[in-house]
Amino acid sequence: MLGVIGGSGFYSFFGPDARSVMLDTPYGAPSAAITVGTVGEHEVAFLPRHGVDHQFSPHTVPYRANMWALRALGVRRIFGPCAVGSLTPDLGPGSMVVPDQLVDRTSGRDDTYFDSGGIHVGFADPYCPTLRAAAAGLPGVVDGGTMVVIQGPRFSTRAESKWFASQGFTLVNMTGYPEAVLARELEMCYAAIALVTDLDAGIGSGEGVKAVDVFAEFQRNLVPFKKVVHEAIDQVAVERTCEHCLPHEGATLPIELP
């Protein structure tokens, strides 16, 4: 089973014929019920990251519960569509990007399942190369970029934005971490697909980023964005062959994965 975790403005993926599953986890309830449907040859589980009514801010999303619930349901490969700001004028609103690196600038988030046992997880390349290839090879999709993940819920100051850009980062987001590393700990393939909604404060002129403008831009591009996610799923082989996202070989885990 494949998974899709929808970001801001991306609250549904299937029609009314999809079945709904609500799972509890050792880390509480996930953001919402998981809906399960079919895309091509794949059974797909969809979960809205912020809840169906956007009731979770980026720093309050139950990331551990979300990822645990998806794995418990049988998901082993996940696409994470998300809204991002751009840190370069080359990527304007409406651009779709498959990042290949991330930088964590969050704080205080529960970002591991391993609070005991001395487990270390390789994360040099945080996204699954197989899933990345499926999405990045689509027409009009930009392959590669570094996404810096900030704590939120506030947007960056102009100085922070210019600083990020000066480091060579290309995208700024609030939810890409710890989602990616939790997927790796659970040995699930994961790749982000980013929709640019704005030029970040230090890149564009004017009053800076406003939430109402971000949501409006996302809605304008939601139909083609969902189309890209569908097409990416169609590019994924039925059988999982990736070994990059299996970091626990030879390790004795302190917990049993679902």
Given a cut of 90, whether residue 117 has pLDDT beyond it is no
Q: Decide if 53 is catalytic.
A: no
Range in 4-8, 23-27, 29-33, 76-80 with the lowest mean pLDDT = 4-8
The pLDDT mean for the chain works out to: 93
Residue 156 falls inside a structural domain: yes
Q: Taking the mean position of all CA atoms in its chain, how far away is CA 252?
A: 28
199 is in an annotated binding site: yes
pLDDT digits (tens, 9 = 90+) for 183-230: 999 999 999 999 999 888 878 655 667 777 777 877 787 889 999 999
Please pick, among 110, 198, 213, 234, the residue that the annotation labels catalytic: 198
Residue 252 falls inside a structural domain: no
pLDDT digits (tens, 9 = 90+) for 13-57: 888 888 999 999 999 999 999 999 999 999 999 999 999 989 999
Q: Decide if 198 is catalytic.
A: yes
pLDDT of residue 248: 94
244 is in an annotated binding site: no
Separation CA 73–CA 47 (nearest Å): 12
Residue 44 falls inside a structural domain: yes
Residue 257 falls inside a structural domain: no
Residue 92 falls inside a structural domain: yes
Residue 248 falls inside a structural domain: no
Residue 63 falls inside a structural domain: yes
Please pick, among 104, 115, 200, 234, the residue that the annotation labels catalytic: 200
Number of domains, the chain: 1
pLDDT of residue 116: 87
Residue 226 falls inside a structural domain: yes
What DSSP letter does each residue of 174-220 carry, written as one string? SSHHHHHHHHHHTT-EEEEEEEEEEE-TTTS-SS---HHHHHHHHHH
pLDDT of residue 110: 97
200 is in an annotated binding site: yes
Separation CA 39–CA 93 (nearest Å): 27
158 is in an annotated binding site: no
146 is in an annotated binding site: no
| CATH code: domain of residue 136 | 3.40.50.1580
Domain encompassing residue 205: 2-235
Helix-, strand-, coil-residue percentages of the chain, each rounded to 5:
25, 25, 50
The secondary structure of residue 9, as a DSSP letter, is: T
Per the document, the length of the chain is 258
Residue type, 199: L
115 is in an annotated binding site: no
